[in-house]
A = this chain, B = another copy of it.
C-alpha cells in the first residue's frame, strides 16, 4: 500500500493506517538486514543535505540507503557554498531535484522543511527542522515500542526530563494519539512541563495524563522515555544542579522492574551507565531501529515497497 503523500514533513500528516504500514515494512526491512541487504534501490540516489550537523541521523539515513543498494550524495555543515552565495532554499531544492531521486534534509529553522519540499521535484523527508518536527525519529521510537512491548495500544508511557523543548516527546505524543487506551505520565521540573499545544492535543484525543515532578512515578509505566534536562533552560544554576540529581536514572531504580527505558540519544548523564547492562535498556537498540525505519520510508516514498 503506497503512502498517501509524496513528502514526509511531520508526524501530523500520518494516520494509523500509515504508521502501521510503515512499521510493517520496517519489520520486513529487518529481514533484509539479516540477509545482508538488498538491491531494491539500486541505481537510486539519496541527497542527504544537513544544513546543521547531525552525524547520527545523517549516517542512519546513509546506512539505510546503502543497505538497499542505493547511492548517496551528501553535504553537511556551514561549508554549503549555496548558503554562502545567498541562494534561496527553494532554488537549492530545484537544483538538487535534477540530481537525486529522493532528498533527506536537516535544517536549523522551523518551517524550512515545508518550504523546501514545495520546491522539490522528488520525494522529500524532513530529517529535523530546528525546534519543529523530526518525524523519522518519532517513527523509530514507535517501532521500538512495538518491537519491545509487542504492542502500542493499551500502554502506559512515562516521558521524563525536558518536556517543554524536547522535540521528540512532542512528535511521539502526536503519534500516540493514533493508538487506543494510551496513558501518559509526564515527569519534569515545573520549568519544563509539556507545552499547552501538546496537552490540549492529549485532552482532545481523550488520552489521560498526569503531570509530576517525581521520577519514581515514571518507573511504574510500561515505557519510560527519558530526555536530557538542558542546563541552558535554567536561570538559576543551583536550581539546575539540584534538579539534575533528581532526574538521573540509575540501575538501582530500574533493576527488577518491567519498565522499558528509551532515550533518543545523545545522553549526557541522565541515564547512569549501570542501566546499560540491564535488559530494560532499549536505547541502543532504539538507535539501531533508525536503519530499518528509514529503509522503509526510502523504499515506500520511491514506490518500491
A112 at the interface (CB under 8 A from B): no
A54-B81, A56-B95 given; A268·B86 CB < 8 A: yes
Tell me which of A21-29, A71-79, A158-166 binds B.
A71-79
A204 at the interface (CB under 8 A from B): no
Check if B76 sits within 8 Å of A53, measured CB to CB.
Answer: no
Interface positions of A from 247 to 274, Cβ below 8 Å from B: 265-268
Report copies per complex: 3
Say how far A284's CB is from chain B's closest CB, in angstroms.
5
Contact mask for chain A residues 274-301; partner B; CB cutoff 8 A; 1 contact, 0 none: 0000000000110110110000000000
A82-B55, A268-B87 given; A45·B66 CB < 8 A: yes
Check if B43 sits within 8 Å of A36, measured CB to CB.
Answer: yes
- Residues in B with CB closer than 8 Å to A73 are 59, 62-63, 66
Check if A45 sits within 8 Å of B63, measured CB to CB.
Answer: yes
- Residues in B with CB closer than 8 Å to A55 are 75, 80-82
* Distance of A95 Cα from B96 Cα, bound (Å): 29
* Distance of A76 Cα from B288 Cα, bound (Å): 22
With beta carbons under 8 angstroms apart, the residue of B36, B45, B63 that contacts A100 is B63
- Residues in B with CB closer than 8 Å to A84 are 53
A85 at the interface (CB under 8 A from B): yes
Check if B53 sits within 8 Å of A43, measured CB to CB.
Answer: no
Chain A: number of interface residues, binned into ranges? 35 or more
Check if A95 sits within 8 Å of B284, measured CB to CB.
Answer: yes
Check if A79 sits within 8 Å of B96, measured CB to CB.
Answer: no
Interface positions of A from 193 to 221, Cβ below 8 Å from B: none
With beta carbons under 8 angstroms apart, the residue of B37, B67, B82, B268 that contacts A266 is B82
- Residues in B with CB closer than 8 Å to A265 are 87, 91, 95
Check if A59 sits within 8 Å of B96, measured CB to CB.
Answer: yes
- Residues in B with CB closer than 8 Å to A67 are 43, 45
- Residues in B with CB closer than 8 Å to A168 are none
Please give 9 more A-B residue pairs, beta carbons under 8 A apart, in addition to A54-B81, A77-B79, A95-B287.
A37-B43, A47-B59, A56-B95, A59-B73, A66-B71, A87-B267, A87-B268, A91-B266, A98-B291
Would you list 24 pairs from A and B whose C-beta atoms are within 8 A, ordered by A residue?
A: A36-B43, A36-B44, A45-B63, A53-B79, A53-B81, A53-B84, A55-B80, A55-B81, A56-B81, A59-B75, A59-B96, A59-B99, A62-B73, A63-B73, A63-B100, A66-B73, A75-B76, A87-B266, A92-B266, A94-B284, A95-B284, A98-B284, A98-B287, A99-B291
